[in-house]
Amino acid sequence: KMSKEQGYDVITYLADIGQDEDFEVARKKAEKLGAKKVYIEDLRKEFVQDFIWPAVQANAVYEDRYLLGTSIARPCIARRQVEIARKEGAEYISHGATGKGNDQIRFELSCYALYPEVKVIAPWRIPEFYNRFKGRIDLMEFAKKYDIPVPVTPKAPWSMDANLMHISYESGILENPKSHAPADLYLMTKSPKDSPDTSDELELEFQSGVPVKVTNTKDNTSKSSPLEIYSYLNEIGKHGVGRIDIVENRFIGMKSRGIYETPGGTILLSAHLDIETFTMDKEVRRIKQGLSVRFSELVYNGFWYSPECDYVRHCIAKSQENVDGKVQLSVFKGQVYILGRESPKSLYNEDLVRYVQAQTQRVMYEFSSAHALSWPCAQLLQPKTHLSDFPSQRHLRSVKPSSWRAAPLLPPPNCDNSGFVQKDDPQCPLGRLNTDQSKALHMPLQIHLSPSSLSYPEVTELMAFSARGES
C-alpha cells in the first residue's frame, strides 16, 4: 500500500515454503491492494533439497541451540525473488524486514549476490515510514483503516514466522525475556505433558549424509521423497519434540529472545549425528565440526551465497561421502532416543572392542605405555638420565613442557657413526628400558611428538631408535 502511494508499480511475490496459509486469499488481498502482478511460488521441494538437506549434513546449529529454520529459508525465498525480478525487468526489490533484525541482512545480501545491479527498498529504514509508524500498534491501525487483514492481534501480540522447517515467535510480549510463553502460542508441537503415552519408533536411512527414507517400525508407514520425509517427521512433533526458548546474538549486535519449534529438524539432527560418528574418521570429523560451526554462523548472518559459504558447503559435502546407513530411534515425551544403527561403511570394529581377547589387551597395554612414555621423552635423551629418574605414571600429569628443557640438549652418549643409539649399551638411557617399555617406544612416534615439545635432533634420535627396533 505504501509503495503504491509512492508511485511504484508493484509486483508481489509470495513463497510457499510450507507455512500454513491460504494462498488464494493472499492473492486476492494483493490484487485488492493494487498489485500489478501476483506470483505465488511453491518452493517446498527445493527448500528441502537445496537448503534443509545441506544443513542436515552440516549438523547446523547456531550458538548450540538454534537450528536455523528462518535463516535457511531466506536464501531460498530470495533466490526465486531475484529470478522473478530479472524476468520482469524490475529495478527495485523490496522486503518488509525491520531495521533491527537479521532478515534485512539475509534478504539484501542474497539479492545483491544474485542480482548485483538491483536496488533494495527497505521501508523500515526510510524516515517517512518509521516516523509514521512507531510500532506494531500503528501498523495494525493502518491495516484496519484500509481493511487489510493481518495475523497479529492484541490477543496474540507477537510476530510469527512459519515454514516447513519450523515456526519462530518473537517480539511483543516475548521481548521481556522473563515472561513465560503462553501455552497457546505453540502451533507445531504438543506440550510433552499432553503428548501421547506411547512412543513412535522410526528408522532413518541416510546416503551421503542425506535422509533418503523414514519408516515407522510400529505401523510400517514409510516415506522416501525429501518433502514427504520432512513433513512426516514434523508430524512426530505430536510428541513435543523440538521446542526451545532462547536468547541469541543477532548479527547486527544486539541480543534477541526467540521461541522455536523444529520437530523434524531435531529428530534429523540426533539421527545424523549418530550415523556420522559411526562412519566418519575421527580426525575428519574433528575438522568437520569446526566447519559446521562456521557454516551455521555464515547462514545465520545471511552469507549463504558468499564465496566462503559456498566453499564450506563443498567441504562438508565431501566429508559426507561415506555417511551411509540406518539409525533406529524412539521419539517420546519431548525426547529423541537413539536405539541402534547399522552401516556398510561403519568404522566400528567389534573385534577390537571385545575386552576378553588377549591380543587386544596386549595391544592396548602397549598403546597406553607409549602414551605414558611420550610425554617426558625428552628426558630420556638427556645425558646421565636413568630410568629411576623417570616420573612415575601417577606424576605424569604434573610434568610441564618447560621442565623438559632443564638440562642442556647434548647428543646421547654411545651413538654409532650413523647416529643410531646403541640401545643395548647399559650406559645409554634408552638401553635401560625393559622389554615392554622398548616395545612401547617402537610404536608409531607421531602419537604425542610435535615441534613444540621436542627439538629436531631429539625427534630424529627417537625416530632412529625406533627404526632399529621391532616395528
Q: Tens digit of pLDDT for each residue in 414-448?
A: 444 444 444 444 444 444 444 444 444 444 433 34
**CA distances (Å), origin 12, targets 112, 120, 192:** 19, 15, 40
Say what the pLDDT of residue 396 is.
39
Using the 3D structure, point to which of 317, 342, 367 is the last residue of a domain.
342
Specify whether 331 is located in the same domain as 355: no
Query: Which stretch of 134-143, 203-212, 427-436 has the lowest confidence by average pLDDT?
Result: 427-436
What global pTM score does this model have? 0.77
Overall domain count for the chain: 3
Note whether residue 167 is domain-resident: no
Q: Report the CATH number that the domain containing residue 258 is assigned in CATH.
A: 3.90.1260.10
Answer whether 116's CB lies under 8 Å from 110's CB: no
Distance CA 445, CA 91 (A): 64
Bigger pLDDT: 144 vs 221: 221
287 backbone dihedrals φ, ψ, rounded to 5°? -65, -40
Specify whether 295 is located in the same domain as 271: yes
Using the 3D structure, point to which of 307, 342, 377 is the last residue of a domain.
342
Angle between helices 226-235 and 263-279 (to 10 degrees): 110
Q: Helix, strand, coil % (nearest 5) of the chain?
A: 45, 15, 40
Note whether residue 165 is domain-resident: no
For 237-286, the pLDDT digits (tens) are 899 999 999 999 999 899 999 999 999 999 999 999 999 999 999 999 99
Q: State percent of the chain over pLDDT 70.
A: 72
Note whether residue 250 is domain-resident: yes
Say what the pLDDT of residue 349 is.
86
Using the 3D structure, point to which of 292, 325, 342 is the last residue of a domain.
342
Answer whether 241's CB lies under 8 Å from 263's CB: yes
237 backbone dihedrals φ, ψ, rounded to 5°? -60, -10
Mean pLDDT score of the chain: 82
Note whether residue 166 is domain-resident: no
Using the predicted structure, report yes or no on whether residue 393 has a pLDDT greater than 90: no
Say what the pLDDT of residue 429 is.
43
Distance CA 336, CA 265 (A): 11
Say what the pLDDT of residue 400 is.
41
**What three-state secondary structure class fits 12?**
strand
Note whether residue 296 is domain-resident: yes
Q: What is the DSSP letter of 258?
A: E
Specify whether 319 is located in the same domain as 185: yes
Note whether residue 159 is domain-resident: no
Specify whether 204 is located in the same domain as 273: yes
Predicted confidence band of residue 5 (pLDDT cuts 50, 70, 90): low
Using the predicted structure, report yes or no on whether residue 385 has a pLDDT greater than 60: no
Specify whether 420 is located in the same domain as 289: no
Domain holding 17, by residue range, is 2-154
Chain centroid offset of residue 364 CA = 34
Specify whether 282 is located in the same domain as 403: no
Q: Per this entry, what is the length of the chain? A: 471
Specify whether 224 is located in the same domain as 297: yes
Specify whether 126 is located in the same domain as 89: yes
Specify whether 114 is located in the same domain as 188: no
Say what the pLDDT of residue 441 is.
43
* pLDDT mean over 279-305: 97
Specify whether 122 is located in the same domain as 206: no
Say what the pLDDT of residue 399 is.
40
